[in-house]
């Protein structure tokens, strides 16, 4: 006997098939706003001296700007940072980058879980392409990545990405 499902039943099956399920969620998805394998996916916010500290790290002493950027941290620990034009905004309206290298500091909540070590930041353009793997805890809530001048040894940040 050939039975056909009513159209309404087919619609309900399609909706259930397309609805995400907690049982099918992959790593990182049980953390609320995370999508797929990303723990954090954001652009960078440049720091200015009046910004608040983030995870105990104070902002740098100069006003920074950024032309474009992307930070992506995956549950596997893969960290990709792309920055174009991370520079200081000077009083005369010009911009330049006085920093030759930066560290990307990875935080889960208030705890620093990784430091990439020195990465070259072009002078005077302020460009960076970074692809590395860091060690993450099994759960990383409230993730953030701070870009810190290597010379400050993580004592200041010049840009941040917060999940």
| Across 27-41, 96-110, 142-156, least confident range | 27-41
Three-class SS state of 155: coil
* 3-50 pLDDT per residue, tens: 444 444 434 433 333 333 333 333 333 333 445 699 999 999 999 999
pLDDT reported for residue 12:
40
> CA–CA separation, 90 vs 115, rounded Å?
29
Kindly indicate the confidence band of residue 121, based on its pLDDT and cuts at 50, 70 and 90: very high
In the predicted structure, residue 103 carries a pLDDT above the cut 80: yes
pLDDT reported for residue 154:
84
pLDDT reported for residue 64:
98
Q: Is residue 152 packed enough to be buried (19+ CB in 10 Å), middle (13-18) or exposed (0-12)? A: middle
The tally of CA atoms less than 13 A away on the side-chain side of residue 108 is 17
The pLDDT of 102-129, averaged and rounded, is 97
Whether residue 79 contacts residue 108, with contact meaning beta carbons closer than 8 Å, is answered with no
> CA–CA separation, 161 vs 153, rounded Å?
18
Three-class SS state of 43: coil
pLDDT reported for residue 152:
86
What mean pLDDT is reported for the chain? Answer: 84
> CA–CA separation, 160 vs 163, rounded Å?
10
| 34 vs 84, more confident | 84
> CA–CA separation, 112 vs 151, rounded Å?
18
Q: Which two tokens stand for residue 97?
A: 């980058």
pLDDT reported for residue 36:
65
């Amino acid at each position: 006997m050939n039975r056909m499902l009513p159209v309404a039943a087919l619609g309900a099956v399609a909706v259930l098939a397309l609805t995400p399920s907690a049982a099918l969620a992959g790593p990182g998805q049980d953390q609320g706003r995370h999508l797929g394998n990303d723990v954090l996916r954001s652009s960078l916010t440049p720091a200015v001296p009046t910004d608040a500290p983030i995870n105990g790290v104070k902002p740098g002493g100069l006003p920074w700007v950024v032309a474009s950027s992307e930070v992506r941290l995956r549950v596997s620990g893969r960290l990709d940072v792309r920055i174009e034009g991370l520079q200081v905004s000077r009083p005369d309206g010009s911009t330049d980058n006085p920093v030759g290298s930066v560290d990307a500091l990875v935080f889960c909540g208030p705890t620093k879980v990784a430091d990439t070590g020195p990465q070259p930041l072009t002078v005077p353009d302020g460009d960076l392409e970074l692809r590395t793997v860091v060690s993450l805890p099994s759960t990383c809530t409230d993730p953030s990545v701070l870009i810190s001048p290597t010379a400050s040894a993580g004592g200041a940040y010049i840009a941040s990405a917060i999940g």
